[in-house]
């Protein structure tokens, strides 16, 4: 039985070139339901109806549908398609917007891949994977804001021109993750984010910032040469030399004047300890990983040995 709507079998194309919805569907490769959907929303308008009540479309509708199918295949939504068809936006403008959207989506997929690789390599827990995914989804601006807030809190009241004030700018120097971050960079970013969220770490950096801003921030007495500390104290650490042993006093003699009194040695040890912290050094190491810089060995164990040796002496 022939009805009067588009759901029944359509008649063949008319002699005047007008096409019923079924013929239009065969010409464009689009389902009848899709054409009807766009027709109901005014995207494609029928030019009339047949004697049996079927919608009829002209060559312009055929061209519009072919354009719609192309735009849909490229991922454009109905609102963008309507904007193009109504000439509120050009195809180039809409395409440019979608390129940006696709770039963002590709970048997110790359980050997800890097996170999954990192979790697979580390054998991480579900909670860790959730955290890594959440942090990896942050935009570059959001990641920078996280670091800026940490630096602003810890260096609050410290003038940029004060001794040690320049460190704040260096701690803010967070690069964006590359287009395809490696597992080490994802790990570094996650560890860095966890570090700056730790209240104890914030308090320690705050302590160092406040002391470092004071005019007499330098350690009392002659400061040991960092290269010599790394060399001699580092060798003592590697050799397992006890900081309180006679052998330690021989190492100490290469690093500080022998005529320092016990009180001066204790004061020097306290001054060095104030600016020696494994987690703060780790912060700089993580920034180096994110910047793609060569790794540097930890100097903190050598300084911890020197501090212990000064106090023991």
pLDDT in tens, 12-51: 445 467 889 888 889 888 889 888 888 888 878 888 888 8
Both 186 and 271 in one domain: the answer is: no
Helix (H) or strand (E) holding 57: strand 55-57
Residue 214 located in a structural domain: no
Q: What is the pLDDT of residue 235?
A: 95
Residue 135 located in a structural domain: yes
Both 132 and 75 in one domain: the answer is: no
Give me the mean pLDDT over the 130-142 stretch. 69
174 versus 178: which is more confidently predicted?
Answer: 174
Of 61, 89, 117, which one is at a domain's C-terminal end?
89
Three-state DSSP at 276 gives: coil
Handedness of CA 255, 258, 259, 264 (dihedral sign): positive
Count of domains forming the chain = 3
Of 89, 116, 138, which one is at a domain's C-terminal end?
89
Range with top average pLDDT, 12-16, 213-217, 309-313: 309-313
> pLDDT band at residue 7, thresholds of 50, 70 and 90?
very low
Q: If 0-12 CB within 10 Å is exposed, 13-18 middle and 19+ buried, where does residue 38 land?
A: buried
Both 84 and 105 in one domain: the answer is: no
Of 89, 119, 137, which one is at a domain's C-terminal end?
89
Helix (H) or strand (E) holding 286: helix 278-291
Q: What residues make up the domain containing 39?
A: 19-89
CATH of the domain at 34: 1.10.1660.10
Listed in sequence order, the residues at least 6 apart from 50 whose beta carbon sits closer than 8 Å to its beta carbon are 11, 14, 20, 56
Residue 2 located in a structural domain: no
Both 66 and 105 in one domain: the answer is: no
Specify whether the CB–CB gap between 219 and 153 falls below 8 A: no
Residue 220 located in a structural domain: no
Both 85 and 113 in one domain: the answer is: no
**The pairing of beta strand 19-20 with beta strand 55-57:** antiparallel
Q: How far apart are CA 107 and CA 97, in angstroms?
A: 16
308 HSE (CA, 13 A, CB side)? 15
C-alpha angle 79-84-89 in degrees, rounded to nearest 5: 100
Both 61 and 107 in one domain: the answer is: no
Helix-helix angle 199-212:140-154, to 10 degrees: 60
Residue 201 has pLDDT above 80, yes or no: yes
Helix (H) or strand (E) holding 48: strand 48-49
Give me the mean pLDDT over the 248-262 stretch. 91
């Amino acid at each position: 039985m022939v009805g009067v709507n588009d759901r029944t079998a359509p008649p063949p194309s008319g002699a005047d070139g007008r096409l019923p919805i079924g013929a239009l569907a065969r010409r464009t490769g689009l389902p009848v339901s899709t054409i009807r959907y766009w027709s109901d929303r005014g995207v494609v308008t029928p030019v009339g109806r047949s004697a049996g009540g079927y919608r009829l479309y002209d060559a312009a509708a055929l061209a519009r549908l072919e354009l719609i199918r192309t735009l849909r295949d490229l991922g454009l939504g109905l609102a963008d398609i309507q904007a193009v068809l109504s000439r509120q936006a050009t195809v180039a403008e809409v395409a440019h917007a979608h390129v940006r959207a696709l770039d963002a989506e590709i970048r997110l997929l790359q980050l997800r891949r890097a996170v999954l690789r990192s979790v697979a390599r580390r054998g991480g827990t579900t909670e860790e994977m959730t955290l890594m995914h959440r942090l990896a989804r942050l935009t570059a601006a959001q990641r920078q804001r996280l670091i800026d807030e940490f630096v602003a809190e810890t260096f609050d009241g410290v003038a940029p021109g004060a001794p040690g004030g320049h460190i704040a700018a260096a701690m803010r120097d967070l690069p964006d993750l590359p287009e395809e971050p490696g597992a080490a960079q994802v790990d570094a970013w996650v560890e860095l984010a966890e570090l700056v969220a730790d209240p104890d770490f914030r308090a320690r950096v705050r302590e160092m910032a406040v002391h470092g801003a004071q005019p007499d921030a330098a350690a009392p007495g002659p400061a040991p040469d960092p290269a010599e500390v790394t060399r001699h104290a580092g060798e003592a650490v590697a050799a397992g030399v006890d900081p309180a042993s006679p052998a330690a006093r021989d190492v100490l003699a290469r690093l500080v004047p022998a005529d320092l009194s016990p009180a001066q040695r204790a004061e020097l040890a306290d001054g060095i300890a104030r600016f020696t912290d494994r987690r703060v050094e780790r912060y700089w190491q993580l920034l180096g990983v994110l910047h793609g810089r060569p790794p540097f060995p930890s100097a903190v164990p050598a300084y911890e040995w020197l501090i212990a040796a000064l106090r023991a002496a």
